[in-house]
Amino acid sequence: MELETIQLKKGTASKATPPKFREATFEDYPQIAALESRYGLNPKSYEEWKHLWVANPAYQNFPRWPIGWVGENDDKEIVGCVSNIPLAYEFNGEPLVVATSRSFVVDSRYRAYSLSLLAHFFNQKNVDLFLNTTVNAQALKLQEVFRAARVPTGTWNRSAFWITSYRAFSASLLAKSRVYGASLLSYPASAGLFLRDKLRSGMWQSAGHHTPVSLCSRFDDRFNVFWERIRKQNSNRLLAVRSREILEWHFQYALAKNRAWVLTSSNGDELSAYAIFCRQDNPGLELERMRLVDFQALDGQAELLKPMLLHALEMCQREGIHMMEAIGFSAEKERAIEGANPYYRELASWRYFYRATDRQLALSLQNPGAWDPTCFDGDSSL
């Protein structure tokens, strides 16, 4: 959930009167996309945007589910919006109604009304759990106003990352620092980073090559069998549903555009683990980035993450992607990530917040052991 500020078109009245709020409709797409685009948020196409709801198995269970809310000024121009996406989750074997926000965008002159807009999201009825997994520094205080809590496991204000194109990464880093002659300086900088990684990475890379890893182009029936085993082994944890149907909806467009990779490790015909990586580029820095958004493994198989990371790193290198990163994850998965010798960078804010509407559920979720958080949660990879 990103809070952004945007300037309106020239000629719009400068005095901001309170906007009128209403439920969003699919017909609002042109204005919503324009609002996002004016800030450089790279809005989805209409087809892909609408897909978040109409092809969403959870949405199909709630025919009256609001797709979000917008604020309009006196000229019927949309000056703020927040999307509302239903997600399928389970806890203790029981289904939960979960809502996540997306693209929380408010024009700078109407920012005083951000709280009123977000209240429509948090005040909706018949929702068990609210999840927001892309909270930035601007939206942090709003989460606290609505008594949303930080997820109690994982380090959600730090990124682990690996460099896969040294010169391109160095050029982006130097450009961010506004260093004159960044393109020329990227050569010696990239050489230093390359030597540093060579000295540190040999041991885990040689070990990773012993485990076969396969690249899947689609989700087949094995993923349903695997999901049933995962849910039984983790019935005491909050889990996003990862059935074949849900995975296909979630990653359909990313897979079609080669912006997602699904890596698997198998024992015969059955999956032992899978990892999903998605492109999360930073256009402002001209930085091409692949992010580990999900990793699931059967009990005792967490170490399979290491060969999958190695396989993905090699794919990034072949395709010229500049870096790969991982954010969050439980302690067990974080240990596997740390064993792969990443760099680390601090993020501007804690990114994962939640609020349960039921008192008993809220008490249960205070326990770190009740979670297995990844960037599959909320809107992080939608």
Q: What is the pLDDT along the chain (382 residues), one digit of tens a residue?
A: 554 443 444 444 445 799 999 999 999 999 999 999 887 778 999 999 999 999 999 999 998 999 999 999 999 999 999 999 999 999 998 999 999 999 999 998 998 999 999 999 999 999 999 999 999 888 899 999 999 999 999 999 999 999 988 777 766 666 565 544 444 333 344 444 444 455 445 544 555 557 899 999 999 999 999 999 999 999 999 999 999 999 999 999 999 999 999 999 999 999 999 999 999 998 878 899 999 999 999 999 999 999 999 999 999 999 999 999 999 999 999 999 998 889 999 999 999 999 999 999 999 999 999 999 999 999 999 9
pLDDT of 201:
54
- Of 95, 126, 150, the position where a domain reaches its end is 150
State whether 282 and 142 are in the same domain: no
State whether 127 and 214 are in the same domain: no
pLDDT of 378:
97
State whether 212 and 120 are in the same domain: no
Report yes or no on 179 lying in a domain: yes
State whether 44 and 83 are in the same domain: yes
State whether 180 and 278 are in the same domain: yes
Cβ–Cβ under 8 Å, residues 78 and 35: yes
Give the 3-state secondary structure of residue 296: strand
State whether 96 and 46 are in the same domain: yes
Report yes or no on 370 lying in a domain: no
Cβ–Cβ under 8 Å, residues 343 and 119: no
Report yes or no on 174 lying in a domain: yes
State whether 218 and 294 are in the same domain: yes
State whether 31 and 179 are in the same domain: no
* The total number of structural domains that make up the chain: 2
Report yes or no on 364 lying in a domain: no
State whether 212 and 260 are in the same domain: yes
Question: What residue numbers bound the domain in which 54 lies?
Answer: 4-150
Report yes or no on 381 lying in a domain: no
pLDDT of 15:
53
Residues with Cβ < 8 Å from 373, sequence gap 6 or more? 151, 153, 154, 156, 328, 329, 330, 352
Report yes or no on 193 lying in a domain: yes
Which runs of consecutive H residues, i.e. helices, occur in 61-135? 114-122
Read off the CATH number of the domain in which 266 is found: 3.40.630.30
pLDDT of 42:
84
State whether 56 and 201 are in the same domain: no
pLDDT of 12:
42
- Of 134, 150, 166, the position where a domain reaches its end is 150
Single pTM value for the model: 0.89
The dihedral through the CA atoms of 377, 105, 161, 320 has a sign that is positive
pLDDT of 237:
96
- Of 150, 168, 195, the position where a domain reaches its end is 150
State whether 169 and 245 are in the same domain: yes
Report yes or no on 241 lying in a domain: yes
Report yes or no on 360 lying in a domain: no
State whether 133 and 172 are in the same domain: no
